[in-house]
Amino acid sequence: MSELYKLGIKEAAEGLAAGAFSSVELTQAVIDRVHEKDGEIGAYLTFDEEGALAAAEAADEKRLGQGAQSPSLLGIPVAIKDLINVKGQPCTCASKILKGYVSPYDATVIRNLKAAGAVCAGRVNMDEFAMGSSTENSGLGVTHNPYDLSRVPGGSSGGSAAAVGGDLAIAALGTDTGGSIRQPASFCNIVGLKPSYGRVSRYGVTAFASSLDQVGPMTKSVEDAAMLLQVLAGHDEMDGTTPKESVPDYVKALEGASLKGVKLGLPKEYYEVSGVDPEVKRITDEAIKSCEAAGAELVEVSLPHTEYAMAVYYIVAPAEASANLARFDGVRYGHRSERSDDVFNLYARSRAEGFGPEVKRRIIMGTYVLSSGYYDAYYGRASKVRTLIRRDFETAFQKVDALLTPVAPTPAFRIGEVQDPLTMYLNDLFTIPGSLAGNCSISVPAGFAATEGAKLPVGVQFICDAYREEKLLAVGMAFETIVRG
Ligand code: GLN
């Protein structure tokens, strides 16, 4: 009973349904665990404990009325990345510029979660405005990897990953623009799913790069990811990129999950890059072998435009970010400089004081590539190359069901170890192409790297064609079953 915080969604839902414990007890166990452990991990920025317990109590009452008809997320606490709006709670995006801002409305994903009875009260750390791969760019504090406190949890959804990986949450929401769900999931030994672009509404999620951003589940198992995605996914009138078609039953898609006869593509460009940690190579090779032993058919495929993905991303993402972040001007939200005597200074100084260095770097890059005379040369051309990258995947998916690749080139690195922004950007080498293509992918724990005496988690990535989340989850679950033995 005292270790309820260790549960995932499925086990917690079963326990709640069986009456083994209440949502108040479950939520209290998570709160106690946060008090005990978060001093050293630093996953949470804020936790509305009173609100959490009130929501848990309401969920317990609802269950009395609904019994077996209760939705599966009823009464389950979910940690929320601090860029997703929850009415009445702070939403800082881990930026000083949004200090003191309180959300006036719920994001659609939160509306969906609340409708299912989930408890959304804890807000977790991230890289400022989701720009980064280590959570070190947070303007509000450091988050430590629960598997080795001297190391980063990954990023930008590092707080989400550390909370779930350290058993400080039952599950969490993250966002992924170029890898921010998958890479921290790999670093913290959890499952992270980036849905296809448009699968989940972005309404109420602070925009970083609008043509890439997706919200997704970060969980203790693939089945938990399916359960959470079920609630998040679907059409939303407030987000024109979400199609009207109905959402498949993701949990049902897991029945009889198997790798037998599954055509697994190994993109040769991903296996030719230099600089991949030998332990990551070993774990990925073992994953490939065990998939083959479980009946998967391995197929070498080529994604010939992979080498341009990083360059394209660092034009498209900063360009969109520079436009999206223009709204933080000291007038409407958060921080306002006190040293301003005219409107230009008000904008300039509020932004200079409020944004951290990486966000400024992106705004400057983005403004440059969008400036008149350069637009066609940069953003225009990058968009064309992006189409080629998308076609590479489409061609590959005519031959295979899923791709298997590493998630990130290394396991979790030490806090402070990566100083150079370009080295930091390389973390997303294997995740960015899929983001540009808009397909879906999942990071599943695959093993532990023996690095400098530490045991560091490493995941592998499966990628499926857009809107094939059922297939992705089934493949992920079959692999998870092998790893768990
Ligand atoms: N690390 C990448 C970046 O800094 C991706 C971030 C993300 O997916 N939000 O842009």
Pocket test for ligand 1, best of 129, 157, 177, 320 (most atoms within 8 A of CB): 177
What percent of the chain shows pLDDT beyond 90? 95
pTM of the shown model: 0.98
Is residue 449 classed as helix, strand or coil in its secondary structure? Answer: strand
Residue 383 lies in a domain: yes
CA of 27 to the centre of ligand 1 (A): 31
For residues 215 and 234, the answer to whether their CB atoms sit within 8 Å is no
Higher pLDDT, 66 or 127: 127
* DSSP string computed for 54-93: HHHHHHHHHHHHHGGGS-TTTT-BEEEETTB--TTSB--T
Q: Ligand 1 atom closest to Cα of 180?
A: 8
d(CA 119, CA 244) in angstroms, rounded, equals 27
CB distance 75 to 120 below 8 Å? no
> What is d(CA 214, CA 336) in angstroms, rounded to the nearest whole number?
29
Q: How many domains does the chain have?
A: 1
Q: At residue 1, does pLDDT exceed 80? A: no
Strand partners, 447: 458
Is position 75 within any domain?
Answer: yes
- With bands split at pLDDT 50, 70 and 90, how would you rate the model's confidence at 229? very high
Closest ligand 1 atom to residue 212 Cα is: 8
- List all residues 6 or more positions away from 309 whose beta carbon is below 8 Å from its beta carbon: 389, 429, 432, 433, 436
How far apart (Å, rounded) are the C-alpha atoms in residues 8 and 244?
Answer: 30
H-helix segments, 19-169: 23-41, 49-66, 108-115, 158-165
191-194/440-451 β-pairing: antiparallel
Strand partners, 450: 455
Is 30 contained in some domain? yes
| Nearest residue to 60 (alpha-carbon basis) of 21, 86, 11 | 21
Instruction: Provide the CB-side half-sphere exposure for 200 (13 A, CA).
Output: 32
What is the pLDDT, as a whole number, of residue 2? 63
CATH code, domain carrying 212: 3.90.1300.10
Q: How deeply is 397 buried, as exposed, middle or buried, from its count of CB atoms within 10 A (0-12, 13-18, 19+)? A: buried
Q: Note the pLDDT tens digit of each residue in 295-344.
A: 999 999 999 999 999 999 999 999 999 999 999 999 988 899 998 889 99
Per the domain annotation, does 287 fall within a domain? no
Taking the centre of ligand 1 as the mean of its atom positions, its distance from the CA of residue 131, in whole angstroms, is: 5
Atom of ligand 1 nearest to the CA of 432: 5
Query: Is residue 50, in this structure, part of any structural domain at all?
Result: yes
- When the pLDDT of each residue in the chain is averaged and rounded to a whole number, the result is 97
pLDDT of residue 198: 98
With beta carbons less than 8 A apart as the criterion, state whether 407 and 343 touch.
no
pLDDT band at 107 (very low <50, low <70, confident <90, very high): very high
Catalytic (active-site) positions: 81, 156, 180
Q: Would you say residue 296 lies in a domain? A: no
**Domain-embedded: residue 397:** no
Tell me the three state secondary structure of residue 171: strand
Q: Domain containing 454: what range?
A: 1-260+304-388+406-485
Dist CA 166 CA 121 (whole Å):
18
> What is the DSSP annotation of 398-433?
HH-SEEEEESSSSSPPBTTT---HHHHHGGGTTTHH
pLDDT band for position 382 (cuts 50, 70, 90): very high
> For residue 452, what pLDDT band results from cuts at 50, 70 and 90?
confident
Q: How far is the CA of 313 from the centre of ligand 1 (A)?
A: 9
Give me ligand 1 centre to Cα 24, in Å: 36
Residue 15 in any domain: the answer is: yes
Question: Best of 126, 133, 138 to mutate for ligand 1, by most ligand atoms within 8 A of CB?
Answer: 133
Q: What is the b/e burial string over 233-254, where b = at least 16 CB atoms within 10 angstroms of the residue's CB? A: bbebeebebbeeeebeebbebb
